[in-house]
Structure 1
């Protein structure tokens, strides 16, 4: 839980009493490689702070093709937010790519915590805003950048992930074939 406190305090300070209260809204979960946190059709009841490991969020189209929406690593937050905030069934899948640990919180817990400690409402808003900005940047990149530019940007933004994620998933994320990624990688 010390890591949770450090993570929160990158945005807002919390005193010992506040943090004791914050901790009651989170549970630790260990996740094995290939295990799903969320599967399409499940109720999306939790939001996750990744303590270790890498996760892949993807959508399966009607033909069973996987479309990667996001990767997430240490200190990232992840959920099928459309389903989580609307308390609906998930349309996305989140799968663990290496053994991991996450902290889980529910929407009612998050709302209560935000109401109890205004600093936490600020914290969650800042985290969501940063995530929203990152998603917009990704969409713009997919719409306007060349595969080479997308590859270089991914490498600059996520150098650790570039080394850990299998190339086939990086290719899917960038919207290119595995062969095209190999050519980009060799340049």
Structure 2
């Protein structure tokens, strides 16, 4: 599990084995069962998660009861309710497991200490944050401007494993389309 995180970090910044051994002490390994929540609306979100095995989704349910999926996260992805994690406010979304899942979690305080003690990790998290912000901007623009077919193509590009691991119902919810529309798109 730690090897996955080490290799993930090394894609962005060099760390030697001794440094990584110290860095890894800031993380806690956790396991969750399918359908178990890591974050729930209205509750604290004290952790940011690095997925080492499994599949998660983050979602919000609007006042009419419609579910909107913000993202899926599988191996080597980071996920949390970032507003709640960074501010200490209650979570505004749910994150739950679509499969049995293993993560490495870090608290806000541990992440702050990690970045203070290892400048390479401050750089790492800045690069990850920038990439996440760019992906979020692209997603919002895509939802506002792209056709259903274009949104589907982008989702396939972003999540190449999705058809084997994610139901059509959830894919449609992520795209903001009906399951029938998704069936037409995936068969064309």
SS in 1 for 2:161: helix
Please give the alpha-carbon distance, in whole angstroms, between the structure 2 residues aligned to 1:184 and 1:91: 31
Please give the alpha-carbon distance, in whole angstroms, between the structure 1 residues aligned to 2:160 and 2:16: 34
Residues 31-42 of structure 1 correspond to what in structure 2 (within 5 A)?
31-42=32-43
Deviation readout 1:78-113 (Å, 9 max, x if unpaired)? 000011110111010001001111000001000000
Structure 2 match to 1:5: 6
Runs of 4+ deviating beyond 2 Å? none
SS in 2 for 1:21: helix
Deviation readout 1:58-82 (Å, 9 max, x if unpaired)? 0111232211111111101000001
Q: For residue 172 of structure 1, report the CA deviation from its aligned partner.
A: 0.7
Deviates more, 1:152-161 or 1:133-142: 152-161
Please give the alpha-carbon distance, in whole angstroms, between the structure 2 residues aligned to 1:159 and 1:150: 14
Give the TM-score normalised by the residue count of structure 1.
0.97
Please give the alpha-carbon distance, in whole angstroms, between the structure 1 residues aligned to 2:178 and 2:38: 27
Q: How many residues align?
A: 187
Deviates more, 1:105-114 or 1:152-161: 152-161
Structure 2 match to 1:100: 101
Q: For residue 163 of structure 1, report the CA deviation from its aligned partner.
A: 2.4
Please give the alpha-carbon distance, in whole angstroms, between the structure 2 residues aligned to 1:172 and 1:45: 27
Q: For residue 17 of structure 1, report the CA deviation from its aligned partner.
A: 2.6
Please give the alpha-carbon distance, in whole angstroms, between the structure 2 residues aligned to 1:178 and 1:131: 27
Structure 2 match to 1:185: 186
Please give the alpha-carbon distance, in whole angstroms, between the structure 1 residues aligned to 2:157 and 2:186: 13
CA RMSD of aligned residues (A): 1.0
Please give the alpha-carbon distance, in whole angstroms, between the structure 2 residues aligned to 1:117 and 1:159: 33
Please give the alpha-carbon distance, in whole angstroms, between the structure 2 residues aligned to 1:141 and 1:163: 24
Deviation readout 1:149-180 (Å, 9 max, x if unpaired)? 11112112221123210000100110101111
Gaps of 5+ in 1: none
Please give the alpha-carbon distance, in whole angstroms, between the structure 1 residues aligned to 2:166 and 2:129: 24
Structure 2 match to 1:54: 55
Structure 1 match to 2:85: 84
